[in-house]
Amino acid sequence: MRLTLTALAGLTFAGLAAPAFAQDIEAGAKTFNQCQTCHVVQNEAGETLAGKNAKTGPNLYGVVGRVAGSLEGFKYGAGIEELKATGYVWTEADLAVYVQDPTKFLVEKTGDKKAKSKMMFKLKKEEDAKNVVAFLASLAPAADAAATDAAAPAEGAVTE
């Protein structure tokens, strides 16, 4: 019994000593500077939340949780169109993998060895990829709504 408790305590301590990877939204905002040459994050109201109105790549507002290749008015490459046909929805984890090697990601997800991405840029570091995706997720429609809700008085609240 003593050995079991010692082992359990050791595992618990090891978990505390080596925390899971935590995304850094602020670092992701800095990393996004590399992405803004091609991408913008612009909400439905037309407000630019990040980037410089670049149109080479699609608007990344709400990309996490969106069906791949589904942004109206943007002409995607064949690889993303093939992924879209499967109904694939972007997750934070997969988007972080995609930005590190877009073509490899498409080949793996579609099973098409000839699948290619029009996105030539790759984030070399996994940490940068996770951080930039966390940054994009922080600018998502749900995040905007939460910020608006937090700023608005509660229904029935007295305001001065």
pLDDT in tens, 37-91: 999 999 999 999 999 988 899 999 999 999 999 999 999 999 999 999 999 999 9
Whether residue 135 contacts residue 34, with contact meaning beta carbons closer than 8 Å, is answered with no
How many domains does the chain fold into?
Answer: 1
Examine residue 146 and state whether it is found in any structural domain, yes or no.
no
User: Is the predicted pLDDT of residue 8 greater than 60, yes or no?
Assistant: no
| Residue 59 structural domain | 23-141
Whether residue 64 contacts residue 140, with contact meaning beta carbons closer than 8 Å, is answered with yes
Q: What angle do CA 102, 108, 112 make, to 5 degrees?
A: 100
Here the CATH number for the domain that contains residue 41 is 1.10.760.10
Examine residue 148 and state whether it is found in any structural domain, yes or no.
no
Q: What is the DSSP letter of 49?
A: E
Comparing CA positions, the residue from 80, 76, 72, 71 lying closest to residue 102 is 80
pLDDT of residue 96: 97
| Whole-prediction pTM | 0.74
Examine residue 32 and state whether it is found in any structural domain, yes or no.
yes
